[in-house]
Structure 1
Amino acid sequence: MHTWQMQEAKARLSEVVKLAESEGPQDITLHGRSVAVVLSRATFEHLSGSGQSLVEFMRQSPLYGLEEIEFERDRSAAREVVL
């Protein structure tokens, strides 16, 4: 990952963005401390998930549409706790 000082990143923003797309994330520092990372859209999409909503995700479940779901309870003895 290439590191840029804030002033340099501001002055060369288009280059920073192009490098994020072609070479990967670009680190931006302020007073020697990392404060931001510029990512390509593809990397962002990959890291943030598939882009689908929770409802869409749930509809892909093999359980979707079932009227009633029966869960079997574990009937084994509970553990003993020493008080």
Structure 2
Amino acid sequence: MAADEGPQIINIRGKSAAIILSMEEYNRLTTPKTRLTDFFKNSPLRGLELNLERNNDFTRKLEL
């Protein structure tokens, strides 16, 4: 039914509780469009030098 007519909503006591999807639709929704490694490789920030040094001071100035 979900494969032919689309997602099926299951109601419990008049409230939507769950949904049944076709396997094809479920796979389409859960399959990542881009792999994470490809995302980082294609980032416009690739090659940017980052300052990853941690500030080891125990105090900092606060403006109140």
What's the TM-score, normalizing by structure 1?
0.41
What's the TM-score, normalizing by structure 2?
0.50
